[in-house]
Each structure stands twice: as structure tokens, then as C-alpha cells.
Structure 1
Amino acid sequence: MTTTYTTTTTGRAGFPLRTFFVPFPFVCFTLALVTDIAYWRTSFLMWSNFSSWLLFFGLIVGAVGLLAGLVDMLRRSTRILGPGWAAAIGYALMLAVAVVNSFVHAGDGWTAVVPNGLILSVVTVVLAVLTVILAARRRSRVIWSVER
């Protein structure tokens, strides 16, 4: 018995629009955690401002990425390359926690970041990592299909 591995290429499927937007929130939320840690260790207000702006930009681009993902689900040519429902729910949950985190960071000074903002930033980054793992597992199953 021989096993044949086939791959799905972009020649047979369209290019997903969400790939332009989805990476930005992950980077912004991770950098917001880094700047929260920097603010916690140094108490320079600049780091708190950086965190607020990174959260804001991550949320704006994340919302655009969510809309692009919905468009990709409606397009027949990109539906097969979708991240799956588990990753989509994880992404939406990550954005919801980031919204709460952004509201917490809107407060004044030290209490806006330490401890609640820092904890929410950690939760947001953990959700981001779990979402990436779920999406990668789904994508690897779709791309490398085994035929017997």
C-alpha cells in the first residue's frame, strides 16, 4: 500500500484576504504586554501610553481582519483555507479580552496597568498563542491531505 501526499496550492484556491490583517493584532498585543512589563518595572508613563496605542491599533486592524475573515468564508475559493471554527472563536475571544484591556488601560497612571492591565495583557497573549496553534493545526490538516 502506497501513501500519496497532496497539497492545496493557491493555484486551486484563492488568496485569503484575512492574511493581510490577522498578524497585526498578534504583534500589537504582544508588544502591549512588553510595554506593560516595562511600565511595571520602570513606572515611566510613556510605556503606558505605548500600551494604550498598541491595543487600539491592534483592535482596529483586528476588527478589519475579522471582517476579512467573514468575506473569506463567503468566497468559495478561500473557504477551504479557513482557520476553522475553533480558531475563529479564539480570535474573537482574544479581541473581546483586548477590548476590556483597552478600557482598563484608559484609566489614569499606575492603576490602569498594574495589576489588572498587566493580567489582561497576559490573558490576551495566551489567547493569541492558542488561536495560532488552533489555526496552524487546521491549516496543516487541510494543506497536507493523505490519500491511501
Structure 2
Amino acid sequence: MTAITHPSYRSTPGPLHAILLAGTVPLFLGALLSDLAYFNTFQIQWSNFASWLIAGGLLFCGLALLFALANLIRAEQKSGRPRVYFLLLLVSWVLGLINAFEHAKDAWATMPLGLLLSVVVTVLSIAAAWTGLTSLRSGGAE
């Protein structure tokens, strides 16, 4: 008798995927804090810090997005958690890219839209990390 096994879909990210996903949150959060510091002090260096942190967040988020896409393709069920996780990452990456373009302007021109985009991208990246790193075993059925 031969047993046929199907590769199981991993509901939580693997170690490298989890590191990339978890790296997006502090980078985008750091950009938000830098934007808040610039908004309060008008020291241009804070805007430069935010630009670099957004670039790092985009790198980590983009690589996590590739892993999420691979997981979505491999998932037996295309709806539910894999799709929500992928869409959250996609929206946070796209808005992060718009935020990077906004921060490429003169420092004075980045406010208040740059600060608002940093808030939205940070909240979306936290939601994506929460969705991606939450195990189905702890919460029951999907």
C-alpha cells in the first residue's frame, strides 16, 4: 500500500519570511516617528531619516510581499487569511512607495501629506504583520 502525501500549506510564515515581515514594522514606525519629529522641530535631518527608513521599509515589505505571493499561489484556499495578508502587504507597499515619492520632495513640501501617509503605512504594516504572524492554531478555524 502506497501513501500519497500532499505538501501542506504553511499558514504562518517561515523564519526568513517572518524576519522580513517583522522588519517592516520598525522601519515604517521609525519613519513615522521621524516625520513627527520633523513636524515639531523643522530640522531637515528628520525628513532625511524618514526617507531612508521608508526606503528600508519598502525593501523589507517588498521581499515579504514576494513570499506572501508564493504562499498565496501555493494555498489551496485562495480566499481568507492568505488573500487578506497579501492585500495588506500590497497596499502598504504601494502607499509606502507613494510616501517615498512624497519624501523625495523638498522637506517643507512633505508636510502634512508625508506625515499622514506615514501613519497609514505604519498602521497597515502592523495589520499585515499581525495577520501574517498570527497562527491559526491559537485562534481556531479560519
Which TM-score band (shorter chain)? 0.7 to 0.9
Listed as ranges, the matches of 1:1-148 within 5 Å are: 16=14, 17-73=16-72, 84-112=82-110, 114-135=111-132, 139-140=134-135, 142-144=136-138
Shift of 1:21: 0.8
Please give the secondary structure, in 1, of the residue aligned with 2:105: coil
Equivalent in the alignment of 2:4? none
Q: 1:50 to 1:146 in 2, by over 3 A?
A: closer
Superposed CA deviations along residues 11-30 of structure 1, whole A, max 9, x for unmatched, are: xx697141121111111111
Question: 1:18, 1:72 within 8 Å by CA — same for their partners in 2?
Answer: no
Aligned length: 128
Q: TM-score when scaled to structure 1?
A: 0.73
CA distance in 2, matches of 1:88, 1:146: 21
What is the identity, as a one-letter code, of the residue corresponding to 2:104? Answer: A
Q: Which runs of 5+ in 2 are unaligned?
A: 1-9
Aligned amino acid, residue 84 of structure 1: P
Structure 1 gaps of 5+ residues are 1-12
- Give the letter aligned to residue 107 of structure 2: G
- Is the contact between residue 47 and residue 103 of structure 2 (CA under 8 Å) also seen in structure 1? yes
Distance 2:140 2:36 in 1: 45
* Structure holding more strand per residue: 1
- What percentage of aligned pairs have identical amino acids? 29
Q: Greater shift after overlay, 85-94 or 31-40?
A: 85-94
CA distance in 1: counterparts of 2:128 and 2:30, whole angstroms: 17
Compute the RMSD of aligned alpha carbons.
Answer: 2.8
TM-score by length of 2: 0.76
